[in-house]
Amino acid sequence: MLAGGPVALFGADAAGDEPSVRSEGMMLSLLGTASPATLRTWFARLSEGGKVVDDLQERPWGASDGQVIDRYGLHWLIGFEGGDGT
């Protein structure tokens, strides 16, 4: 569950004999969907048991973003404009 932005995002695993969700070549994007502090928290939590592809960092153009693959194999792009929220 990701909460703290304009919407709460929940996920659930497959039940019984239902096939699990598989995705290839898809990235979920959370750009500016919550405060910088909340997005940093989401990035940290999604990276637990997963893999950071590109650290969440300020870019030359002033925005901050990063990529992580969570423990379930979902690829996320998380970022924000403006203040660092730390």
Is 55 part of a structural domain of the chain?
yes
Give the CATH number, domain containing residue 40.
3.30.720.110
How does DSSP classify residue 2?
A: B
- How many structural domains compose the chain? 1
**10-14, 27-31, 51-55: which has the minimum mean pLDDT?**
10-14
Whether residue 8 lies inside any domain: the answer is no
34: pLDDT strictly greater than 60: yes
Whether 66 is covered by a domain: the verdict is yes
Higher-scoring residue by pLDDT: 11, 76: 76
Tens-place pLDDT, residues 40-84: 999 999 999 999 999 999 999 999 999 999 998 899 999 999 765
Domain that holds residue 71: 27-80
Residue 50 amino acid letter: G
φ, ψ at 64 (rounded to 5°): -120, 140
Neighbouring-strand partners of residue 4: none
Residue 57 lies in a domain: yes
Question: What is the pLDDT averaged over residues 16-33?
Answer: 85
pLDDT at 85 (0 to 100): 47
Does 1 fall in a domain?
no
